[in-house]
Amino acid sequence: MVTRPPETNSHAELRGRRVLICRPEPEGSRLARVFEEAGATVRILPLMAREPLPETPDQRSILQELDNFTHVIAVSPYAARRLLEEADHWWPQLPVGIHWYGVGAGTAAELSRHGLRPRRPAEGWTSEALLSLPSLQNLANEKVLLARGEHGREVIRETLEQRGARVTVLPLYRRFRPYYPSETIDEIFNGFQPEVIVALSGETLNNLMTTSPDHLQALYQTLLVVPAQRVADQAREAGFLNPFVPGGLADPDLVISVASRLAPEAGNTGKPSKDARD
C-alpha cells in the first residue's frame, strides 16, 4: 500500500507538474480540481464517454421484479446512479431484503446516498476483490442482478454462475470513445506534454493508444496511473515503462498517491516502484 505523506508534501511534489486526466465527465473535472488545489497544472481529455441506453421491455420487466433478487451488484458509481434512477420509476421505496453491493468505495457511496447499506470489499476495488466477499460464495439458485454498461468484463457473471447463482445482467449505458480533432491531440501531447496521465480503466488505456498513436513513444515515459494490477500489466505489454497503481481511487487518494510516487525517495527512474508492482 502507498504510505500517505503529509498534505504539504503533496503540494510540494505536485507544484507545476503537468497532469492529464482522461476520466469521463463529471469525474474528470472533479479530480482536476483536487490536483489543481495541490499545485498541479491540469488538462482534461476524457477518453471515454457514457450515455444511457434507451428503455426496453426487458429492462422494464427486470426492474419491476427487483424484489425477486437476493443480491444486486453495481459495477461502478455510474452504474449505481443509473440503476437507482431507473428503479425509481417503479419503486418509490426500494424493496427490502436485498443485499446491495458496490465494486469499490465510490460505488458503495453512491448506493449509500440513497439510504442503502451496501457491502463492498474491505480492501481493493476490483471485481476480484468483490468476489471474495463471504456473502457471494455459496449462491445455489439465488438470483443476482448485475447492473453495468452495455459491454464489460464477464468475470463477475461467470464466477457467480459457477457458484450456483442465477445472474441477470442489466445493461444501463453504453461507453464510447469521444472524437477529438488532430489539433486538440497535438496541443495536448506536443504542447502540454503531460508528465502524469490518469487512465482509470483498461478501456481508457486502449482509447489513449488509439487516440494518440503518433505520440506513444513520448507517452511511454510518463507516469501512467491505472486502477489495478491487471491494467498495469496491460500497459507494460503495450510499452509503457511506468504504470502505477495508486493506494485508492477516491480523488484525495489519487492525488496523495501520485505525489508520493513523484517524491524523490520514490526514485524517479522511469521504473515502477515496489508499490506499483505489488
Of 117, 150, 175, which closes a domain?
175
* Residue 5 pLDDT class (50, 70, 90 cuts): very low
Q: Taking the model in full, what pTM does it have?
A: 0.81
* Residue 216 pLDDT class (50, 70, 90 cuts): confident
Per-residue pLDDT of 22-55, as tens digits, reads 999 999 999 999 999 999 999 999 999 999 999 8
Question: pLDDT over 70 for what percent of the chain?
Answer: 91
* pLDDT number for residue 275: 31
Structural domain that includes position 75: 51-175
Average pLDDT, rounded, for the chain: 87
Ramachandran class of 70: left when φ > 0, alpha when ψ lies in -120 to 50, beta otherwise: alpha
List the beta bridge partners of residue 101: 73, 119
* pLDDT number for residue 277: 27
Of 117, 146, 175, which closes a domain?
175
Regarding beta strands 18-21 and 196-198, do their DSSP bridges make them parallel or antiparallel, or are they unpaired? parallel
* pLDDT number for residue 270: 40
Indicate whether 274 pLDDT > 60.
Answer: no
Does 221 share its domain with 106? no
Cβ-based neighbours of 122, under 8 Å, separated by 6 or more? none
Does 69 share its domain with 149? yes
Indicate whether 236 pLDDT > 70.
Answer: yes
The answer to the question of residue 198 being in a domain is yes
Of 150, 175, 200, which closes a domain?
175
Q: Which of 88, 92, 110, 86 shows the shortest CA–CA distance to 100?
A: 110
How many domains in the chain? 2
Q: Rounded to an integer, what distance in angstroms lies between the CA atom of residue 108 and that of residue 118?
A: 6
* pLDDT number for residue 11: 66
Q: Rounded to an integer, what distance in angstroms lies between the CA atom of residue 228 and that of residue 205?
A: 12
Per-residue pLDDT of 144-200, as tens digits, reads 999 998 887 788 999 999 999 999 999 999 999 999 999 999 999 999 999 999 999
Per-residue pLDDT of 47-88, as tens digits, reads 999 999 998 999 999 999 999 999 999 998 899 999 999 999
Does 121 share its domain with 194? no
Indicate whether 269 pLDDT > 60.
Answer: no
Does 169 share its domain with 74? yes
The answer to the question of residue 2 being in a domain is no
Does 271 share its domain with 184? yes
Does 141 share its domain with 157? yes
* Residue 213 pLDDT class (50, 70, 90 cuts): confident
